[in-house]
């Protein structure tokens, strides 16, 4: 047995104390802390927050021998239990590590629990020492009934499971619902008093039921009795903050962060965009319970916690999940079709505004996630493409293709199918385990012949534009390019405010700003001799004779520079796209749209 006890060592100093007891250790026991947390593809070196490691066995001290940045060796004598004790500094406000202050605690096992080499397959238990009086504990880890004296302990079947159930500690709001017979719990920390918990529960329940029905069939005759969700209980852990967002998926829970103002409020029944985006995040992480936590890349068949685990398939596991997240908000009846199309248009605009889509394929972007997507900098939009955004649009294109939108007249089309059918076929093929690109291609070919598979491979491994304008038109959706903003015409991304003025964040490849010598980090002070505090103000400084001449004064590293450029004409189309229901859709296009989006 491997047992962990978690104590609060010092709230104000953000320190947990962990005591690890290993029964019957071998003569040489190696332990290590993971370098990364599954679902977030960056080596984060969690061991940098571990300190003061001590060990005792049978009443004697053992000096830990450090082997590398995250591993130690303990030389034991006899089979008496080995007891390790160490502190973990916890002040990371994300969902990926650990946090502790006077208000709340949160941790992932990858931050707190040493891996006991050779005992990964053993049962692992967790118990807590004294916690502040009003604090409670929330987690999807199984409560162990053998716990004594009122304080529960928790148990995981093995190390992989141990580190896949995050814990929330503190005073939090908690609600429950049942979805298709499965217990669900929703914990919200830090909410404002006006928070409408009943609304959040009701909307989340609809999302969960829609997804359970998607994977396992709707209640009634279509559901096979043996097909049910691969978890007995599911827990949403949402921490709300002043400003922030994010989520991380786990096998029976998810850790989420949202702004307090994103939560639904008691009173008016309007659905702000921020709340709809939160529902999209909830939907996204819940979908991962099937798509990446169980069905997963073959490279994740068994996780190596010590180093990068490379896969080319994140376009499928993140991108297709991103396609389905908003789609389920629509399918659950929480938004209407025009609003859904706005989310699709936002994805399209983001992709078309990223020059890196011509540099990298989504398969390469997946493989490089460890050094590119998760290490974003000012060059990111020029060098990389998001496997989330483009992956979601590939899912959309494939769904429309499968539904018959690839054939202009509909003659000679393969039997129409759907992406839903592909996902379920893959779920059955994988038995909830690893899959490869070849599996995806094989199931796709079964559904609709080789043409679909060939198209998918081109989109995934190539850099050409996706044929979405045509596909959407044949699905009764009108596509319109918006008038570009000045930033888009110049190829700039800036931050700006009346207080701080204009700062250049990114200069896009191929743009007028790059040609003029503008640089990330530049502060734009003036244009044509006039002070500007917002980029668009520059257009007010041009004269009738030279309507497109912008002479900039910028500050760079304490020096002032003058840079000159001609603005490309406003008539040129920008990267932003609007989508709407086409007024004059053919009966075939209207039928395809109804089958795809309902209503």
| The three-state (H, E, C) secondary structure of 171-237, written as one string | CCEEEEEEECCEEEEEEEECCCCCECHHHHHHHHHHHHHHHHHHHHCCCCCCCCCCCCCCCCEEEEE
Residue 336: CB atoms within 10 Å: 12
Kindly state the smallest distance separating residue 248's Cβ from Zn ion, in Å: 8
Kindly state the smallest distance separating residue 43's Cβ from Zn ion, in Å: 19
Kindly state the smallest distance separating residue 245's Cβ from Zn ion, in Å: 13
Closer residue to Zn ion, CB minimum distance, 209 or 318: 318
Closer residue to Zn ion, CB minimum distance, 416 or 434: 434
Q: Which residue is nearest to Zn ion (CB)?
A: 318
Closer residue to Zn ion, CB minimum distance, 15 or 384: 384
**CA–CA separation, 79 vs 366, rounded Å?**
46
Q: State phi, psi for 436 to the nearest 5 degrees.
A: -115, 175
Residue 389: CB atoms within 10 Å: 23
**CA–CA separation, 362 vs 385, rounded Å?**
7
Residue 304: CB atoms within 10 Å: 12
Kindly state the smallest distance separating residue 267's Cβ from Zn ion, in Å: 32
Closer residue to Zn ion, CB minimum distance, 92 or 318: 318
Closer residue to Zn ion, CB minimum distance, 16 or 315: 315
- Please report, as residue ranges, which positions from 184 to 223 form the binding site for Zn ion (by CB under 5 A): none
Beta carbons of 343 and 467 less than 8 angstroms apart: no
Q: What is the CA radius of gyration of the chain?
A: 27
Annotate each residue in 324-363 with x if it binds Zn ion (CB under 5 A) or - if it does not, as one string: ----------------------------------------
Kindly state the smallest distance separating residue 291's Cβ from Zn ion, in Å: 9
Closer residue to Zn ion, CB minimum distance, 3 or 384: 384
Closer residue to Zn ion, CB minimum distance, 210 or 492: 210
What is the chain's percent helix, strand, coil content, to nearest 5? 30, 30, 40
Query: In the structure encoding, which two tokens stand for residue 380, read together?
Result: 């990111």
Closer residue to Zn ion, CB minimum distance, 105 or 297: 297
**Biggest distance spanned by C-alpha atoms of the chain:** 91
Q: DSSP letter at 243? A: S
**Separation in Å, CA 87 to CA 1, 62, 105, 150, 364:** 22, 17, 15, 26, 39
**CA–CA separation, 298 vs 174, rounded Å?**
36
Pair type for strands 434-435 and 296-297? parallel
Length of the chain measured in residues: 599
Kindly state the smallest distance separating residue 354's Cβ from Zn ion, in Å: 19
Closer residue to Zn ion, CB minimum distance, 165 or 474: 165
Closer residue to Zn ion, CB minimum distance, 137 or 257: 257
Kindly state the smallest distance separating residue 14's Cβ from Zn ion, in Å: 28
- Please report, as residue ranges, which positions from 148 to 167 form the binding site for Zn ion (by CB under 5 A): none
**Separation in Å, CA 372 to CA 39, 210, 308, 375, 456:** 15, 34, 13, 5, 23
**Separation in Å, CA 36 to CA 242, 416, 528:** 27, 42, 50
| The three-state (H, E, C) secondary structure of 533-591, written as one string | CCHHHHHHHCCCCCCCEEEEEEEECCEEEEEEEECCCCCCCCCCEEEEECCCCCHHHHH
- Please report, as residue ranges, which positions from 465 to 524 form the binding site for Zn ion (by CB under 5 A): none
Kindly state the smallest distance separating residue 287's Cβ from Zn ion, in Å: 8
Annotate each residue in 307-326 with x if it binds Zn ion (CB under 5 A) or - if it does not, as one string: -----------x--------
Query: In the structure encoding, which two tokens stand for residue 389, read together?
Result: 């955004």
**CA–CA separation, 340 vs 232, rounded Å?**
31
Closer residue to Zn ion, CB minimum distance, 124 or 211: 211
Closer residue to Zn ion, CB minimum distance, 9 or 318: 318
Kindly state the smallest distance separating residue 321's Cβ from Zn ion, in Å: 5
Query: How many residues interact with Zn ion (rule CB under 5 A)?
Result: 1
- Please report, as residue ranges, which positions from 562 to 591 form the binding site for Zn ion (by CB under 5 A): none
Kindly state the smallest distance separating residue 282's Cβ from Zn ion, in Å: 12
Kindly state the smallest distance separating residue 385's Cβ from Zn ion, in Å: 16
Kindly state the smallest distance separating residue 454's Cβ from Zn ion, in Å: 27
Kindly state the smallest distance separating residue 288's Cβ from Zn ion, in Å: 6
Closer residue to Zn ion, CB minimum distance, 386 or 430: 386
Q: Going by C-beta distance under 8 Å and a sequence separation of 6 or more, which residues neighbour residue 231?
A: 140, 182, 251, 252, 289
Kindly state the smallest distance separating residue 12's Cβ from Zn ion, in Å: 34
Closer residue to Zn ion, CB minimum distance, 164 or 318: 318
DSSP assignment of 99-158? EE-SSEEEE-HHHH--EETT-TTS-EEEEE----TT-EEE-SSEEETT--TT--EEEESS
Beta carbons of 319 and 294 less than 8 angstroms apart: no
Question: Which residues in this chain contact Zn ion in the complex, by CB under 5 A?
Answer: 318
């Amino acid at each position: 047995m491997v047992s962990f006890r978690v104590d609060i060592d010092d709230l104000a100093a953000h320190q947990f104390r962990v005591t690890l007891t290993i029964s019957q250790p071998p003569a040489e026991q190696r332990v290590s802390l993971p370098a990364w947390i599954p679902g977030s593809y960056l080596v984060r070196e969690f061991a940098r927050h571990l300190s003061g490691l001590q060990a005792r066995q049978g009443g004697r001290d053992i000096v830990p021998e450090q082997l590398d940045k995250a591993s130690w060796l303990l030389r034991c004598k006899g089979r008496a239990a080995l007891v390790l004790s160490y502190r973990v500094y916890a002040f990371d406000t994300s969902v990926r590590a650990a946090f502790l202050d006077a208000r709340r605690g949160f941790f992932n096992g990858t931050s707190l629990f040493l891996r006991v080499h050779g005992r990964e397959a053993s049962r692992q238990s967790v118990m807590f020492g004294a916690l502040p009086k009003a604090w409670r504990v929330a987690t999807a880890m199984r409560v162990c009934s053998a716990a004594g004296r009122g304080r529960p302990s928790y148990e995981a079947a093995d190390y992989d499971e141990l580190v896949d159930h995050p814990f929330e500690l503190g005073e939090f709001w908690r609600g429950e619902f049942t979805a298709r017979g499965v217990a669900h719990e929703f914990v919200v920390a830090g909410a404002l008093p006006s928070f409408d918990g009943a609304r959040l529960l009701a909307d989340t329940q609809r999302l969960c039921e829609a997804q359970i029905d998607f994977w396992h069939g709707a209640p009634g005759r279509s559901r096979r009795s043996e097909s049910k969700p691969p978890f007995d209980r599911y827990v949403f852990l949402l921490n709300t903050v002043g400003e922030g967002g994010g989520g991380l998926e786990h096998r029976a829970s998810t850790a989420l962060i949202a702004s307090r103002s994103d939560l639904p409020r008691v009173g008016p029944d309007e659905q702000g965009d921020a709340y709809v985006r939160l529902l999209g995040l909830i939907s996204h992480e819940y979908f991962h319970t099937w798509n990446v936590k169980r069905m997963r890349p073959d490279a994740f068949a068994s996780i190596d916690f010590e180093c990068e685990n490379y896969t080319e398939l994140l376009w499928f596991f993140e991108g297709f999940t991103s396609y389905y997240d908003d789609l389920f908000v629509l399918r659950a009846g929480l938004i209407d079709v025009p609003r859904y199309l706005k989310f699709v248009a936002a994805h399209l605009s983001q992709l078309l505004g990223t020059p890196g889509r011509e540099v990298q394929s989504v398969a390469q972007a997946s493989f490089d996630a460890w050094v590119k997507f998760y290490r974003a900098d000012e060059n990111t939009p020029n060098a990389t493409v998001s496997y989330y955004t483009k992956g979601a649009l590939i899912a959309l294109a494939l769904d429309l293709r499968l539904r018959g939108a690839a054939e202009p007249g509909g003659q000679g089309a393969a039997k129409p199918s759907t992406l839903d059918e592909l996902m379920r076929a893959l779920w059955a093929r994988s038995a909830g385990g690893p899959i490869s690109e070849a599996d995806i291609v094989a199931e796709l070919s079964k559904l609709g012949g080789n043409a679909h598979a060939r198209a998918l491979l081109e989109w995934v491994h190539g850099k050409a534009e996706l044929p979405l304008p045509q596909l959407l038109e044949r699905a009764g959706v009108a596509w319109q390019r918006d008038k570009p903003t000045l930033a888009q015409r110049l190829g700039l991304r800036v931050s700006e405010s009346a207080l701080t003025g204009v700062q250049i964040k990114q200069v896009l490849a191929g743009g007028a700003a790059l040609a003029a010598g503008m640089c990330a980090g530049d502060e734009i002070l003036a244009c044509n001799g006039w002070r500007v505090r917002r980029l668009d103000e520059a257009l007010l400084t041009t004269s009738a004779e030279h309507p497109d001449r912008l002479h900039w004064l910028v500050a760079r590293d304490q020096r002032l520079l003058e840079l000159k450029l001609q603005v490309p004409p406003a008539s040129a189309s920008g990267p932003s796209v609007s989508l709407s229901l086409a007024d004059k859709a053919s009966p075939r296009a209207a039928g395809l749209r109804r089958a795809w989006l309902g209503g």
